[in-house]
Amino acid sequence: MNTAGKLLATTGAMGGCGGAYFVAKPLLSPDKQITTADFNKKGVWKAIFLTHKEDANFKSTFSLTGSEAVDTASVSIRDKCKQLVKDNSKDLIEKWCVVPTPKTIEARLYLDEKELASDDDDRQNLFVLYKEDEGFINAIKGDGSGFTKNSNKSDAKTKIETYCSSKMSVSAEDPSYSNIKNWCTKPPRDVKAKLVEDGIVLIGESDTAGWADKYEKLKGESAFLTAIGVSTGSAVDKAEGGPKLKTWCTTEYSKKLHDNDVYPTNFELSKTRCSK
């Protein structure tokens, strides 16, 4: 970036927001470092908007009304701050382009670079991921009754949306933050995304030997053979069995977690059959 000084990456922030900062120096003062929000991040600019959107001077500086969608406003703020750095506008940078102290849980989530659950798939996936957690069920249920881990997914997604919406304006210091971060942000979309998030090392798509060896290791299980389309009464060598296993895994990878029996049943099978 062509600025008055070199931008240096640094760390630190509330809630584990390391890397949310840049240091711009020297700007207008040779002995003064200004810590600006990281232009390569997204969430921090959303947090800046939420923190200052009621301030008339902020809105005037960034040509905002305060009612914009957070995604749209954050891009405008980031781009304007880039220009302010180029222009050495020290006072404005220090006031509006630095990592804010979050006032609400929503702003803190953005500083942690979390995306909010935003659609039915997200919320139904959250339900199947956390429904065995009694704390989750009780929190989503609230003061109502009749909501359990056996509730239908359609009812669950509505209740999760209501719960999460009610928590976004709560103080950033609320002790429930860690739970809300799990229960109200985008979960893995499908089986493969969840496997990757869990740190499972998968057999590579082009690893022919890996697929063949895994087939050889599991071929003694009749349920496995049936699943990948091999007759339990026929002899199939690993050169043929490996591709069949790969096909099965590829199909499983794309299944949504909330599809019938996918999580945890098929997910656990995928973890066993498709990993190195």
Q: At CB < 8 A and 24+ separation, what contacts does 17-24 make? A: 17/44, 17/99, 17/111, 17/112, 17/113, 20/44, 20/99, 20/111, 21/98, 21/99, 24/85, 24/93
Q: What is the DSSP letter of 199?
A: T
Distance (Å, whole) CA 134 – CA 141: 10
pLDDT at position 26, please? 39
Contact in structure between 182 and 140 (CB atoms under 8 Å) = no
Beta 34-37 vs 6-10: how paired, if at all?
A: unpaired
pLDDT at position 231, please? 87
> Does residue 264 sit in helix, strand or coil?
helix
CA dist list (Å): 152 to 66, 117, 178:
38, 19, 26
Question: Positive or negative, the Cα torsion across 33, 36, 40, 41?
Answer: positive
CA dist list (Å): 262 to 119, 214, 257:
19, 21, 6
- Identify the bridge partners of residue 190 per DSSP, sorted by sequence position: 256
pLDDT at position 143, please? 82
pLDDT at position 29, please? 46
- Identify the bridge partners of residue 182 per DSSP, sorted by sequence position: none
Name the phi and psi angles at 226, rounded to 5. Answer: -60, -40
246 CB neighbour count, 10 Å cutoff: 23
pLDDT at position 172, please? 98
pLDDT at position 7, please? 37
Per-residue pLDDT of the chain (276 residues; tens, 9 = 90+): 333 333 333 333 344 444 455 544 434 444 557 789 999 999 999 999 999 999 999 999 999 999 999 999 999 999 999 999 999 999 999 999 999 999 999 999 999 999 999 999 999 999 999 999 999 999 999 887 789 999 999 999 999 999 999 999 999 999 999 999 999 999 999 999 999 999 999 999 999 999 999 999 999 999 999 999 998 777 699 999 999 999 999 999 999 999 998 999 999 999 999 999
Q: Residue 238: in which H helix or E strand, if any?
A: helix 238-253
Q: Hey, where are the domains in the chain? A: 6-108, 120-183, 191-273
pLDDT at position 6, please? 35
Closest listed residue to residue 157, CA positions, set 120, 191, 104, 118: 120
> Does residue 60 sit in helix, strand or coil?
helix
Distance (Å, whole) CA 78 – CA 75: 5
| Angular region, 63: left φ>0, alpha ψ -120 to 50, beta rest | left
